[in-house]
Structure 1
Amino acid sequence: MKTLIYADTNSYGVFHLGFNTSSLSMFAEIYDHVIYYATPSSVNIVKHNLGGKFPKNVTYRRIWVNEPKNKFEKMLHHLLQLFFSISIVLLGSKKKVIYFNYAPLIAIPVVNKLSKLLHRKILITCHCELDFLADNNFRNLNRFSIKTLKLFKSSDYKWSNSLYFSCLGEHVKKNAKNVLSNLAWNKLISFEHTWIFDRQVENKDLNKEKIQVGFVGSISEEKWLDSIFYLRNNLPLSKFDITAIGRVFCNPELLNKNNIRFIKEAEKEFISSEMIKFELSKLDFVVFLYPEESFKMTASGAIFDAINAEKYVLALHNDCFDSLMHRTKFGTLFHNVKEIVEFLNNLENLNIEEIDYKVVKENLSPSSEVLKLKSELERIFFIQ
């Protein structure tokens, strides 16, 4: 019997909910038995996202990691991650594949040594870690995590023969070749980010007099604020309402002065998934203004929220969005913000192609990627 240990030693609450749910579903389709280690606050929400129950071949085993809110809690979080990551590897066996859905940076050197000594087959998914390496920006990382990241660039470090890494998308693997050492890059496999979508979507027509446009994602003064203001200032107030759906890290008065609505309390705390769904249900278009250099080393989760809500997406070209749009059509991509403004101001004269969201959701579902992931796992002998 093919068994996989799905180890989530990092998540709490809704953190990485979309990826955790969809990846667990994919591995449950590939392996006969999946043993799922995670903290209760994460498990309960993943289970809810799966319709209230796990696949029959998934067995849950409880661990606990805290939600880090200050320096002390961050240190505790890393120590718990280290403890449970090592424990799970020790409790594994040669016949079981161990999958970490989030790279436990502080534990990777020890996990690598244990993989060599105990012949453990281990796969670790990288998310923002490759971004840190590409930008050479280790801000907010502890020195142990920084030391681990630098191993990915080392041409001397010896990785275990049975330890591999995965990234979310072939575009990430291609770009990572310029960042990782040959030794580390040869340890990298890829599979696409997928999503478990709602079957029924409720849309609210609260203001038919104006076109409702929204941004999804956190907003800071460093993060496309100028582009948002350009869009707002070039779309007439009489025809367009604009809403920011996400955490507000900039001075909220900047948004108020520019007639951009944001969710109450968003300047103080992150927005719940239920609130994001509710706000998305009011929109006609969802706009993403991430610049071209964005998402070279990561995938976007926010764009799946827009697709889940069945909203037409207007976004700037980047490697991630280009790759997704190649897989299935769910909107229009542009080269600059000016083109998006022209598109919106000329809606009356455009013949916008209707999107078949049933097809889109099928093309981005876990089942759509299972064969590719299975092929990658067979290539590295994690399925025999």
Structure 2
Amino acid sequence: MKNDIVFIDTNSIGNFHEIFNTAFFKILEKNYDSITYISSDSCIEAITKILNDKALSYDQSKIHFKKIKVLKGSQSYHIFLRKLLASFLLFFLLIKNRKEKIILANLNEFSTLYLNSLVNIFDIKLGIITHGELEYMIQDVPKNKPIFLYKSLLKHFFKNKISENIQILTLGKSIEDNLKQIFPVNSKIIKSIEHPYFFDSNAVSESSDSNIIRMGIVGTVGENKGMSDFIKLSQHLESSIHQGVIEFHVIGKHNYNIENYPLLRFLAKPNTSIPTKEYNDAIQKLDFILFFYNENQYRLTASGAIFDAINHNKPIIALKNSYFNHVFSYGKVGYLCENIEEMKDIIKDVVDKKNVNFDLRIEFEKIKNIFDWKHIVLPLIIKNN
């Protein structure tokens, strides 16, 4: 019997989740006889570009790309309208493809209003990949913002019994365990895979011969990602910066007025996306990558940025949280700290050239072996059988 699957992404535009989506695309290709990939034209273009750049071919006879309209824009009201319109489109796509197994690229908050009824009426077998949207449920969010509505919809969905035709696919065992602990009523349908990634052997670079120590934060930058702590750290080490001993870099999209932060080196202007190659080239020049996500963050979502660091074999200095603890359980690729003060102590030891061990090549290889897309196994409900 032919084993087909339909992958639906009514949310992504451009390079949003492009690495994950491309890696998952290859996993689907490995497991299924035929794949219908439904997404925006810009998302499909981003995926095929990554495949071409990495010289990864795909079987065009079994892959069927279908383009849909996805509302563009990055402002809060754009995102709200995109989610709302996507939920209507998704409703009809699910009915249209009801005879196939279906995987959704993300959990649309508005779709939670009809998913249970729809999959039960039409006996649809549905897998749903979850990303950062799950974090809304455990965050304190302002009641006058759309995110409060997203949080309310998701909490209502998970508090009640979800159809056994649905599988919630989290991106890490720690996330699976945390979600089951919060919503035990749905433990049976919550599964996990590791976050797949394309590790590029050409990305690994030798440390700079310069005496300057270059540290940075990577990925999307904001207050929720610890930017305030990064700014305070730069102020704490201001004398070392002026002496040319250390540099602090911001490599990612942000909305900060650069002129207000003379101790930091920003790669991009405010609200400007960074091309993938430029982003990776900048990471290569760093010596260390810092993360300020605290213990209350990344309980229900994975971090793509940590894999950008691992891809380039860049030692990590970070605060402990459940997801980073999970990743580090496969290989110690740096230091996880209890608090900011401990981070400062380790960074000061690096600056002072004290005995801090960062020869982590074997540890990096351990982690890459686990999270490489080629080694990811899909749970049984959506696995080729």
Superposition TM-score, scaled by structure 1 size: 0.86
Cα displacement string for residues 182-235 of structure 1 (whole angstroms, at most 9, x for unaligned residues): 333332111111201223127487771311111113444564244223432237
CA contact (8 A) 2:39 2:67 kept: yes
Aligned to 1:339, which of 341, 345, 350?
A: 345
Q: CA deviation at 1:146?
A: 4.9
Q: Secondary structure at the match of 2:114?
A: helix
Aligned to 1:87, which of 81, 85, 92?
A: 92
Q: CA deviation at 1:16?
A: 1.0
Q: CA deviation at 1:268?
A: 3.2
Which amino acid letter does the alignment assign opposite residue 87 of structure 1?
A: F
Query: Is 1:193 the counterpart of 2:195 in the alignment?
Result: yes
- 1:84 & 1:146 partners in 2: Cα distance? 21
Which amino acid letter does the alignment assign opposite residue 280 of structure 1?
A: I
Q: CA deviation at 1:332?
A: 2.7
- 2:213 & 2:325 partners in 1: Cα distance? 26
Alpha-carbon spacing, 1:277–1:142, altered in 2? closer, same or farther (3 Å): closer
2:307 alignment partner in structure 1: 304
Which amino acid letter does the alignment assign opposite residue 367 of structure 1?
A: K
Q: Secondary structure at the match of 2:376?
A: helix
2:289 alignment partner in structure 1: 286
Map 1:40-119 to 2 at 5 A.
40-51=41-52, 55-56=58-59, 57-70=62-75, 73-74=78-79, 76-94=81-99, 96-119=100-123
Deviates more, 1:237-246 or 1:355-364: 355-364
Flag structure 2 segments of 5+ consecutive residues without an equivalent.
none
1:212 alignment partner in structure 2: 214
Flag structure 1 segments of 5+ consecutive residues without an equivalent.
none
Which amino acid letter does the alignment assign opposite residue 58 of structure 2?
A: P
Which amino acid letter does the alignment assign opposite residue 46 of structure 1?
A: I
Q: CA deviation at 1:98?
A: 0.3
Query: Is 1:244 the counterpart of 2:250 in the alignment?
Result: yes
2:361 alignment partner in structure 1: 355
- 1:359 & 1:51 partners in 2: Cα distance? 27
Which amino acid letter does the alignment assign opposite residue 224 of structure 1?
A: G
CA contact (8 A) 1:204 1:282 kept: no
Alpha-carbon spacing, 1:328–1:88, altered in 2? closer, same or farther (3 Å): farther
- 1:93 & 1:246 partners in 2: Cα distance? 39
Q: Secondary structure at the match of 2:249?
A: strand
Q: CA deviation at 1:121?
A: 0.1
Alpha-carbon spacing, 1:216–1:72, altered in 2? closer, same or farther (3 Å): closer
Q: CA deviation at 1:65?
A: 0.6
Q: Secondary structure at the match of 2:295?
A: coil
- 1:383 & 1:202 partners in 2: Cα distance? 34
Deviates more, 1:309-318 or 1:294-303: 309-318
CA contact (8 A) 2:214 2:248 kept: yes
Q: CA deviation at 1:381?
A: 7.3
- 2:224 & 2:194 partners in 1: Cα distance? 28
Alpha-carbon spacing, 1:70–1:244, altered in 2? closer, same or farther (3 Å): closer
CA contact (8 A) 2:141 2:148 kept: no
- 1:79 & 1:129 partners in 2: Cα distance? 14
CA contact (8 A) 2:137 2:152 kept: no
Deviates more, 1:199-208 or 1:230-239: 199-208
Cα displacement string for residues 105-141 of structure 1 (whole angstroms, at most 9, x for unaligned residues): 2223323222111111001122123211122537643
Aligned to 1:322, which of 322, 325, 330?
A: 325
C-alpha RMSD over aligned residues: 2.7
Aligned to 1:366, which of 345, 353, 373?
A: 373
Aligned to 2:179, which of 167, 170, 176?
A: 176
Query: Is 1:21 the counterpart of 2:22 in the alignment?
Result: yes
Aligned to 2:141, which of 131, 134, 137?
A: 137
- 1:178 & 1:135 partners in 2: Cα distance? 16
- 1:126 & 1:134 partners in 2: Cα distance? 15
2:38 alignment partner in structure 1: 37
Deviates more, 1:331-340 or 1:236-245: 331-340
CA contact (8 A) 1:242 1:260 kept: yes
1:127 alignment partner in structure 2: 131
Q: CA deviation at 1:150?
A: 3.2
More helix by percentage: 2
Q: When the two structures are aligned, how many residues end up with a matched partner?
A: 371
- 1:226 & 1:196 partners in 2: Cα distance? 31
- 2:297 & 2:76 partners in 1: Cα distance? 29
Q: CA deviation at 1:175?
A: 1.3
- 2:215 & 2:20 partners in 1: Cα distance? 26
Superposition TM-score, scaled by structure 2 size: 0.86
Q: Secondary structure at the match of 1:248?
A: coil
